[in-house]
Amino acid sequence: MAGAVLRHLRGAVRFAAFWGAILLPLAYVPVLHETVAGQRVDLFLLLLALHVACILVGHERSHDGTPQIGSSGAD
């Protein structure tokens, strides 16, 4: 039971990270505008770190639930 819950939770986190990695670049334009104005460099660095984390966590997410080519499948 606990293993099934953990697998589901892991899948949900990976799903959110996958779509976060895709959608986060939309936030770069307004954040870069503030950064160029010299106001929010910390916000840009936080967004960049979040984007990298989403890429690393969500990189093995596939649309049909099967592992990507080259992955061990031992998630």
Whether 4 has a pLDDT exceeding 70, the answer reads yes
**What's CA 4's distance to the chain center, in Å?**
22
Burial of 53 (0-12, 13-18, 19+ CB in 10 A): middle
Q: Is the pTM for the entire model greater than 0.95?
A: no
Whether 3 has a pLDDT exceeding 70, the answer reads yes
Q: Which tens digits make up the pLDDT trace of 56-70?
A: 998 876 555 555 544
**Cα separation of 40 and 17, whole Å?**
24
Comparing C-alpha atoms, which of 24, 66, 17, 26 is closest to residue 48?
A: 24
